[in-house]
Amino acid sequence: MSLLELSGIERSFGPVQVLRGVDLVVEAGEVVGLVGDNGAGKSTLMKTISGVYATDSGQITFDGDEITDLDPGSRREAGIEMIYQDLALAPQQDVANNIFLGREPTKRFLGILPAFVDKARIDAEAQRMIDSLGVQIPSIQIPVGMLSGGQQQTIAIARALTFKPKLVIMDEPTAALAVREVESVLRLIRQMREEGIATILISHRLNDVFKACDRVVVLRRGNVITDLKKDRTDMAEVVSYIVDAHE
């Protein structure tokens, strides 16, 4: 049984059909690169998986359960995390608070209401996650806005991994990063694979896709054009599918 199965996924915005019967399978612990030109439907497809967009038709199954009609919160509880290109971090808040943003653990003083945020637990668990990932940051108390782009990306990944996901969707995680920061992000993706976490990587950077992914799926005009094993293809072939050279 596959971890994620999409069957006949369609999605339109008014008269514009963005997804046209997409089928996709992702196995546990697999890294799948999703590539295609601008407007191919990559981000829309990922948002249908995470539940941000409802599907017009088709079915989504995750870890053996149908989740087609579940809301984003329920899909996160099932084990799907999505890291958006803008990262959705709070730049004025510190690293620890960003890792638990929106899901802060609470405690009650002497068991009496009201509950309040357990900052000591947040700091301790955030430090443990940062240490386990080998992320290099000055301090978990530093405001996220003071970190480099690569460091912020790793904080977004740490936030996703804190809640034990089975699938992480990453939208252009290496865009605009320096070479050294790119390698750090790719290392974390490989680390997730070793821990059995599946990843869908949306990227225009084919070098990064070939370094990190097991398979490459090409999306064009809302259709899956091809699904290739990385070790049975090369960048030239992938580009040829992206630019319609096979038509």
Helices 179-194 & 149-162 angle (0-180, nearest 10): 10
Give residue 115's pLDDT. Answer: 65
- How large a percentage of the chain has pLDDT more than 70? 96
The 3-class SS string of the chain reads CCCEEEEEEEEEECCEEEEEEEEEEECCCCEEEEECCCCCCHHHHHHHHHCCCCCCEEEEEECCEECCCCCHHHHHHHCEEEECCCCCCCCCCEHHHHHCCCCCCEEEECCEEEEEECHHHHHHHHHHHHHHHCCCCCCCCCEHHHCCHHHHHHHHHHHHHHCCCCEEEEECCCCCCCHHHHHHHHHHHHHHHHCCCEEEEECCCHHHHHHHCCEEEEEECCEEEEEEEHHHCCHHHHHHHHCCCCC
Give residue 107's pLDDT. Answer: 72
**Range 95-115 average pLDDT:** 75
Give residue 134's pLDDT. Answer: 85
Architecture of the domain defined by 1-79+165-247: 3-Layer(aba) Sandwich (3.40)
Query: For the chain, which residues make up each domain, given as ranges?
Result: 1-79+165-247, 90-163
**Range 230-245 average pLDDT:** 92
Q: Residues 167-212: pLDDT tens digits?
A: 999 999 998 788 888 998 999 999 999 999 999 999 999 999 999 9
Q: Residues 124-147: pLDDT tens digits?
A: 989 988 888 888 888 999 999 999
Give residue 10's pLDDT. Answer: 98
Q: Is the model's pLDDT at 88 over the cut of 90?
A: no
Quickly tell me which residue has 């990306």 as its tokens. 153
Q: Is the model's pLDDT at 247 over the cut of 60?
A: no
Least confident of 109-113, 148-152, 241-245: 109-113
At residue 109 the predicted structure's pLDDT band, cuts being 50, 70 and 90, is low
